[in-house]
């Protein structure tokens, strides 16, 4: 009798749950189309339209002007510096992000919450303020300025300052992508590997890394995109020296301020294309991660 009652109420509960699930999606077609329309309108006005405007303005004076702007020595120097800053900052942030995420997710230690707060610091501090901090520390009149001058070491208004500023504004992305992922995965697999005799490197390479590879790739993609598009902090520490310390965003600003609109939009279109490539890679990573998760669920079932 009790079992029948339990089955009855269990069935009623399942029916109620199914009803609630259906009721939660019983909006009228008008509401659904309104939501979709608002979303598409927002996308078209604030994302697609500016992209189209950049491409149209870049080609307004023809392909010859467009190509000339891109092969200009100052533009090529800006491309090289942008790629150099990204090539240095991304691996550094990858190492830091993995180490910080592993420490936070797998261990308990004093100062753990303080470390999490420091990781979030670049999100709460304006990039311009970050650049000013580097000027205060490494500038000619800064705390370490006299010592750097004595040893002929130049950081501000040079490549090292640009790299430092880029590292600062990009270092949360890998860590912030991995911390919740590694916390959700728990410690059981690593502990089992240690019990079976694996050392720290073997545990990381054969257990931790395969579990976080898609999240890690996603964090690296975001870090690279932020590094190539950074403007505020780099603008403060670069000095805007043509052919030496101008990244692509700074080069676009200079061209625009000099009323070279076609050249400015041409270089901006290069940044836009890099953003589209990054978006495509990001979408692919998300698709692969979802497919891998579905495969794991199928294997478990």
For 148-193, how does the pLDDT look when each residue is reduced to its tens digit (9 = 90+)? 999 999 999 999 999 999 999 998 999 999 999 998 888 888 888 8
Q: How far apart are CA 277 and CA 269, in angstroms?
A: 12
For residue 117, count other CB atoms closer than 10 A to its CB.
11
From 163, 165, 149, 136, select the one nearest 232 (Cα to Cα).
165
Which stretches within the chain are classed as H helix?
2-23, 29-43, 49-58, 63-71, 73-106, 112-119, 121-124, 127-138, 145-150, 159-170, 172-185, 188-195, 200-203, 209-229, 232-238, 248-257, 261-300
Rounded to 5°, the CA angle 252-258-261 comes to: 60
192-218 per-position pLDDT tens digit? 888 888 887 888 888 888 889 888 998
Residue pointed to by tokens 């059981």: 188
CB 178 within 8 A of CB 98: yes
> Coil, strand, or helix at residue 62?
coil
Structure-block tokens of residue 128: 């311009």
Residue by residue, pLDDT tens for the chain (301 residues) are 444 444 444 444 454 444 444 445 677 888 889 999 998 898 888 888 888 889 899 998 999 999 999 999 999 999 999 999 999 999 999 999 999 998 998 888 888 889 899 999 998 899 999 999 999 999 988 899 999 999 999 999 999 999 999 999 998 999 999 999 998 888 888 888 888 888 878 888 888 888 898 889 989 999 999 999 999 999 999 988 888 999 999 999 999 999 999 999 999 999 888 888 888 888 888 788 778 777 767 766 6
From 296, 268, 300, select the one nearest 55 (Cα to Cα).
268
Q: Please state the pTM of the whole predicted model.
A: 0.81
3-state helix/strand/coil string of 249-285: HHHHHHHHHCCCHHHHHHHHHHHHHHHHHHHHHHHHH
Total residue count of the chain as it appears in this document: 301
Q: How far apart are CA 232 and CA 139, in angstroms?
A: 17
């Amino acid at each position: 009798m009790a079992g029948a009652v339990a089955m009855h109420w269990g069935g009623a509960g399942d029916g109620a749950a199914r009803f609630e699930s259906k009721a939660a999606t019983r909006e009228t077609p008008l509401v659904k189309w309104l939501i979709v329309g608002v979303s598409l309108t927002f996308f078209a006005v604030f994302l697609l339209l500016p992209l189209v405007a950049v491409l149209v303005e870049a080609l307004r004076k023809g392909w010859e002007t467009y190509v000339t702007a891109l092969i200009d020595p100052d533009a090529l120097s800006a491309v090289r510096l942008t790629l150099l800053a990204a090539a240095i900052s991304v691996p550094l942030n990858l190492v830091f992000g993995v180490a910080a995420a592993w420490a936070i997710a797998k261990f308990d230690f004093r100062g753990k919450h303080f470390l999490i707060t420091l990781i979030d610091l670049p999100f709460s501090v304006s990039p311009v303020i970050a650049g000013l901090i580097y000027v205060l520390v490494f500038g000619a009149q800064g705390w370490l300025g006299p010592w750097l001058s004595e040893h002929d070491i130049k950081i501000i208004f040079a490549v090292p300052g640009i790299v430092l500023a880029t590292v600062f504004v990009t270092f949360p992305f890998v860590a912030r992508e991995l911390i919740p992922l590694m916390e959700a995965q728990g410690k059981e697999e690593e502990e089992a590997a240690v019990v079976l005799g694996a050392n720290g490197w073997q545990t990381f390479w054969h257990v931790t890394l395969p579990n976080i590879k898609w999240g890690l790739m996603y964090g690296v993609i975001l870090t690279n995109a932020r590094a190539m598009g950074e403007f505020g902090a780099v603008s403060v520490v670069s000095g805007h020296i043509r052919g030496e310390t101008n990244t692509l965003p700074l080069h676009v600003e200079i061209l625009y301020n000099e009323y070279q609109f076609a050249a400015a939009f041409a270089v901006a279109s290069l940044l836009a294309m890099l953003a589209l490539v990054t978006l495509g890679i990001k979408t692919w990573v998300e698709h692969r991660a979802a497919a891998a998760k579905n495969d794991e669920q199928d294997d478990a079932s």
